[in-house]
Structure 1
Amino acid sequence: MKKVLLLVLLILSTNLAFAQYIDSLQVNEMKKVQWLAGKWEGEGWMMFGPEEKHTFSQTETVTSKLNGLLLAIEGLGTVDESKIIHNAFAVLSFDSENQRFVMRAHKADGAFTEADALVDDNGDFIWGFNHPYAGELRFTIRQNDKGQWYEIGEVSSDNGNSWFQNFELLLNKVE
């Protein structure tokens, strides 16, 4: 009986040690993007054609969940404070098994994507996906010297060989 109990304790302690390794990896990777947590407000622009630049107001509410293992991201973009042009919700996490960030993003129209994401050597958070009509989309978010959220969006119609900026956002942390 003592041998069985000892074996059970050994198995449990091994599993707990492995789980702590996974959690610490997730926590360490997610720390790279924790600066996003908070409420952000500001202005941006997007292009719908070569010379069609449209400005908008944007709010991003980012909440850290499960002790930092997830970020819940809610984005709302408006024109003239009343017309909603962007309404999205995303969950960002780190997949320890595959050693990568995963972002599942949903829009109010029912569209969703599981986006590729990474944090580069400069600390920039880069995420993107392929759009069936627009091509490859890439967004780069960084914290600038003033502590602001600075984001650009780019599109590529040639599999990432060249990029055209079609989006820019500058947000201030308000909470």
Structure 2
Amino acid sequence: MTGEKKIKFIVDVVYVVLVAALAVFALKYLVWWLLPLVLGFCIAFALKPLVNLVYQMSSATRRFCAVMVLLCAYATLAALVWLGVVQLVVGLRRLILTLPELYESSFLPAAGSLSDWFSGLLGRFFPQLSEEFSTLAQMISEQTTTVVGGLSERLIEGMGALVSGLPGLMLTFLFTILSSFFISMDYN
């Protein structure tokens, strides 16, 4: 290789590394900052035909029609999300509260009868294994009870972590809503 080719190769490698580093930086940091603007544009683009229709059918300004269409769209979306979240929270709460009781009333008796049946079957063919199996089944039952209790606690902690992440998500939604209003009002 000549000196010029080596320098060109090094410059090309440095260029590719810099472009890759900028792409990683953009994906890691800038996407989250630009996401509300991109989502706002997508919403304004999706509602543009409806805004144009309302504008043509009314004597109001295009900006007013855009604001009204967006308000109606966001009100509908908010109502649907609210109903979905309420149903999800009620269902999860019911599941979390009834999980230990369901385990005690349904799973333990079924597992006990299965264990007794299997222990009796082992007792007929391998009497020495029957007692060891009963001990093992008892240990598994105790460990499962502990795990189910811990699972309920972890689900409640997870819901707390989910709620703690809501302020950042709400801020993103707020910027998305604002950008969709501004973009939609001046879309033409």
Instruction: Tell me the TM-score range normalised by the shorter chain.
Output: under 0.3
Higher relative contact order (CA 8 A, sep 6+): 2
Structure number with larger C-alpha Rg: 2
TM-score (norm 1): 0.28
Of Structure 1 and Structure 2, the greater helix share is in: 2
Of Structure 1 and Structure 2, the greater strand share is in: 1
